[in-house]
């Protein structure tokens, strides 16, 4: 029986806010991968990207995902690129139901426009175009990984959490 929920999806789809609330409602532990990666590296994510490069970041992400994936009774907010390495999803799937949060490129741009400093991939000359290109490339990875999919564009945090709780109830093999 799976007892974790792993939230995947692009930056700005609400993984962190939804994850915190969902964990509280289901009485599970909330875990976010990005801060654990920062702890392991001893530096911030923008520093990892600028000093060591994206590949080094992805290697740390693989290590941290492996450690967290084995735990039980957790809501795990993954970084937007966790799906890029299949090994992450294979490991997460063992104990986690995978919930994919989506949002339109326009909404993602709105939600992320204030914190480009924290998200090195969006620190681009044309963030709107970057979002569209990354989304186009990543969509099949997200789709393939997802057990449950929720479009968050028109929903607030409470409504997303409510939908997740409703949908996981139908899922055999998951213990909420
Ligand atoms: C990334 C998303 C970020 C963070 C890093 C890379 C991505 O996490 O892991 O900047 O590749 O989409 P959030 O999705 O929590 O912003």
Query: Is pTM, for the whole model, over 0.85?
Result: yes
Ligand 1, atom 3: closest residue by C-alpha: 79
Region 83-90 average pLDDT: 98
Percent of the chain with pLDDT over 90: 91
Region 8-24 average pLDDT: 98
pLDDT in tens, 31-60: 999 999 999 999 999 999 999 999 999 999
C-beta of residue 15 within 8 angstroms of C-beta of residue 30: no
What's the whole-number average pLDDT of the chain?
96
Establish whether residue 121 lines the binding site of ligand 1, counting it when its CB lies within 6 angstroms of any ligand atom: yes
Establish whether residue 35 lines the binding site of ligand 1, counting it when its CB lies within 6 angstroms of any ligand atom: no
Q: Which two tokens stand for residue 31?
A: 């875990």
54 Cα nearest atom in ligand 1: 6
Structural domains for the chain:
4-165 (3.40.50.300)
**d(C-alpha 115, C-alpha 112), whole Å:** 6
Ligand 1, atom 9: closest residue by C-alpha: 79
| Least confident residue range of 18-22, 74-78, 119-123, 149-153 | 119-123
Q: Which two tokens stand for residue 83?
A: 């799906």
Q: How confident is the model at residue 102 (pLDDT cuts 50, 70, 90)?
A: very high
Q: Which long-range contacts (CB under 8 A, 24 or more apart) does 153-156 make?
A: 153/102, 153/103, 153/104, 153/107
């Amino acid at each position: 029986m799976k007892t974790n929920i792993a939230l995947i999806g692009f930056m700005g789809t609400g993984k962190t806010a939804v994850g915190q609330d969902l964990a509280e409602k289901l009485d599970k532990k909330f875990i976010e991968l990005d801060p654990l990666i920062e702890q392991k590296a001893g530096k911030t994510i923008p520093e990892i990207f600028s000093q060591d490069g994206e590949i080094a970041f992805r290697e740390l992400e693989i290590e941290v995902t492996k450690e967290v994936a084995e735990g039980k009774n957790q809501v795990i907010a993954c970084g937007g690129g966790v799906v890029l390495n299949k090994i992450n999803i294979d490991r997460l799937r063992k104990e986690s139901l995978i919930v994919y949060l989506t949002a339109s490129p326009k909404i993602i741009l709105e939600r992320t426009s204030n914190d480009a400093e924290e998200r090195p991939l969006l620190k681009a000359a044309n963030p709107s175009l970057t979002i569209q290109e990354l989304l186009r490339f990543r969509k099949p990875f997200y789709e393939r990984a997802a057990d449950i999919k929720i479009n968050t564009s028109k929903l607030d945090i409470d409504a997303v959490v409510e939908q997740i709780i409703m949908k996981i109830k139908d899922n055999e093999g998951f213990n909420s």
